[in-house]
């Protein structure tokens, strides 16, 4: 169900399902807004994680405990809102009132308001495109918010829009690989961009050949489907950055591993998600455009599937990349770095202020940081790094930094070419990062989203499967960028 109306209100309607998010310091307020004798207003009501229901035929009050006011965080509020919308959906409710009081002066005030906009959308998400019948569809479609947060109305809309783009990224990831190919990914990116005022340029195989993108072409050799190179640009007249922010997303629409075939069951099962980086940057630039942020942003997406077809690129091949450098292929499953290298090299032509790439690049990143964070590797100054990390904390799309020390570069030296495409058993995420770094030459941040991009089981408001990770992170970073 899509959210049809979302707005702030100043008084509660007593016939509408109402969710109170209650901390110890908002108990009094909650009492005042609730008919006397509805529930006992004791400690239990505001205890963290506690759900208190008071449903009669005409009154539906739900109290969600936030714990001690001083310990409330934006993420706790997101989770409480998810619990509230879940309950509303299971009660088949269409209209929900939400009451949230945050003490004025809280440093993250605007993020609470954004969360109020995000959550009805993120909570309602389902991917039902291929089901003949949906058993219990979500029902919530109107959300009214009573809050003391100033300017909440416009922040609600921004939160809602960003969440909707997050859900589009989820859809792109969840689409099966026989539907979402490089060709249809490009078509969808173009259609979405047209609707939001983003310029789209799509290169087909001929144009990719003309550009001598050897890495992308090598990975594409085992495939029956043409590759695409997608360029999206948002450049409003009032942009404040004279050099663009360039986003790069890995767009492997399916990763079989190629001739270095992945084992199955297991490793290959979720590899339709190997274009989650592409989905994130496509949706992030469109979110930036929809919000009319005054930033010049460009997104680059190299896209192909990775298959072991007849003419597939082969271990021991030496590939000449767009940059002119040569790569000895020792594992065709390390294909993400091959296609990203050409995109990162091409980015030099755009004279970027900063390039951020998002990629489901290594299984090692999942081992290192799990599914609750992404691995960040960067050569940028401390200021940019801390702005990225901060955006990660506030959106709860968190980043853990791994180093790019010189010594790691030794691990990708090749006997016969400029480098090899794998670095051995150790430090797998970092050697992938070091490989990419060789194709940069500007401020750059690499974010390995292999863990959080796709979940085998639901984790709260991050449902099962595609999560859309990266959209809210990039949007928040770009919104605060100067």
What positions carry a catalytic annotation? 262, 337
DSSP assigned state of 97:
E
CA–CA gap between residue 120 and residue 178 (Å, rounded): 31
Nearest to 445 by CA among 373, 349, 378, 363: 378
* Under rule CB under 6 A, residue 328 binds ligand BES: no
Burial class of 391 by CB neighbour count within 10 A (0 to 12, 13 to 18, 19+): buried
Give me 323's structure tokens: 């940059």
Give the distance, in angstroms, between the CA of residue 322 and the centroid of all CA atoms in the same chain: 28
- Could you tell me which stretch among 33-41, 159-167, 363-371, 402-410 binds ligand BES (CB under 6 A)? 363-371
User: Would you count residue 274 as binding Zn ion (CB under 5 A)?
Assistant: yes
Cα–Cα distance measured from residue 201 to residue 169, given in angstroms and rounded to the nearest whole number = 19
Select from 334, 347, 402, 412 the one that contacts ligand BES (CB under 6 A).
334
In the chain, what's the furthest Cα-to-Cα distance? 81
- In this complex, which beta carbon is closest to ligand BES, that of residue 102 or of residue 369? 369
Determine the Cα–Cα distance for residues 440 and 250; give it in Å rounded to an integer.
Answer: 16
Helix H or strand E encompassing 91: none
The beta strand positions in 340-402, using DSSP E, are 354-359, 373-378, 398-401
| Closer residue to ligand BES, CB minimum distance, 22 or 301 | 301
Question: Nearer Cβ to ligand BES, position 175 or 274?
Answer: 274
Give the Cα separation of 244 and 275 in Å (integer). 23
Q: Is 436 in the site for ligand BES (CB under 6 A)?
A: no
Examine residue 164 and tell whether it contacts Zn ion (CB under 5 A): no
Please report how close the Cβ of residue 434 comes to ligand BES at its closest, in angstroms.
12
Select 369 or 422, whichever has its Cβ closest to ligand BES. 422
Half-sphere exposure in the Cβ direction for 436 (13 Å, CA) = 37
- Smallest separation (angstroms) from Zn ion to the CB of 402: 18
Q: By CB under 6 A, which span of 187-195, 334-342, 374-382, 468-476 interacts with ligand BES?
A: 334-342
**Cα–Cα nearest to 55, from 38, 40, 34, 70:** 38
Of 354 and 365, the one with the shorter C-beta distance to ligand BES is: 365
Q: Which two tokens stand for residue 327?
A: 């790569």
Count the neighbouring beta carbons within 10 Å of the beta carbon of residue 127: 16
By CB under 6 A, tell whether 274 contacts ligand BES. Answer: yes
**Of 68-76, 165-173, 191-199, 358-366, which part binds ligand BES (CB under 6 A)?**
358-366
Stretch that binds ligand BES, among 52-60, 171-179, 287-295, 326-334 (CB under 6 A): 326-334
Using CB under 6 A as the binding rule, the residues of this chain from 399 to 428 that contact ligand BES are: 422, 428
Per-residue binder mask for Zn ion (CB under 5 A), 276-315, x = binder: ----------------------------------------
Q: Which CB sits closer to Zn ion, 161 or 274?
A: 274
Of 159, 336, 443, 468, the residue at the interface with ligand BES (CB under 6 A) is: 336
- Applying CB under 6 A, the residues found at the interface with ligand BES are 255, 274, 331, 333-336, 360-364, 366, 422, 428, 450
């Amino acid at each position: 169900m899509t959210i049809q109306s979302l707005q702030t209100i100043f008084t509660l309607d007593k016939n509408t399902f109402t969710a109170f998010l209650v901390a110890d310091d908002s108990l009094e307020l909650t009492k005042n807004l609730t008919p006397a004798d509805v529930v006992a207003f004791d400690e239990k009501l505001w205890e963290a994680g506690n759900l208190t229901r008071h449903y009669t035929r005409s009154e539906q009050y739900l109290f969600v405990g936030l714990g001690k006011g001083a310990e409330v965080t934006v993420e706790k509020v997101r989770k409480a809102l998810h619990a509230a919308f879940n309950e509303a959906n299971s009660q088949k409710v269409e209209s929900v009132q939400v009451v949230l009081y945050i003490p004025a002066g809280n440093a993250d005030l605007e993020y609470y308001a954004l969360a109020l906009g995000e959550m009805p959308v993120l909570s309602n998400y389902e991917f039902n495109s291929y089901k003949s019948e949906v058993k219990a569809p979500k029902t919530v479609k109107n959300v009214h918010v009573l809050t003391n947060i100033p300017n909440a109305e416009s922040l609600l809309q921004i939160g809602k829009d960003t969440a909707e783009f997050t859900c589009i990224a989820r859809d792109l990831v969840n689409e099966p690989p026989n539907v979402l190919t490089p060709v249809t990914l490009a078509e969808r990116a173009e259609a979405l961009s047209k609707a939001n005022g983003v310029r789209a340029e799509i290169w087909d195989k001929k144009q990719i050949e003309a550009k001598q993108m050897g890495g992308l072409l090598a990975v594409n050799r085992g495939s029956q489907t043409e590759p695409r190179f997608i360029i999206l640009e948002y450049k409003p007249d009032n942009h404040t950055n004279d050099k663009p922010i360039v986003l790069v997303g890995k767009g492997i629409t399916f990763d079989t591993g190629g001739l270095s075939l992945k084992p199955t069951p297991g490793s290959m099962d979720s590899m339709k998600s190997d274009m989650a980086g592409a989905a994130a940057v496509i949706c992030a630039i469109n979110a930036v455009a929809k919000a009319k942020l005054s930033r010049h942003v460009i997104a680059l997406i190299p896209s192909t599937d990775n298959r072991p077809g007849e003419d597939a690129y082969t271990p021991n091949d030496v590939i000449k990349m767009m940059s002119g450098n040569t790569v000895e292929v020792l594992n065709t499953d390390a294909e993400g770095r091959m296609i990203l290298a050409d995109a990162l090299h091409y980015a030099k032509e755009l004279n970027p202020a900063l390039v951020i790439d998002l990629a489901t690049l290594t299984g090692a990143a999942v081992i290192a940081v799990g599914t609750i964070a992404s691995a960040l590797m960067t050569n940028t100054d401390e200021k940019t790094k801390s702005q990225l990390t901060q955006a990660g904390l506030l959106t709860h799309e968190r980043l853990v930094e791994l180093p790019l020390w010189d010594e790691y570069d030794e691990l990708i030296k090749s006997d016969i070419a400029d480098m090899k495409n794998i670095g051995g058993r150790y430090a797998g995420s970092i050697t992938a990062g070091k490989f990419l770094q060789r194709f940069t030459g500007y401020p750059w941040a690499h974010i390995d989203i292999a863990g959080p991009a796709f979940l085998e089981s639901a984790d709260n408001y991050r449902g099962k499967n595609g999560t859309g990770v990266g959209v809210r992170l990039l949007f928040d970073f770009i919104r605060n960028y100067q």
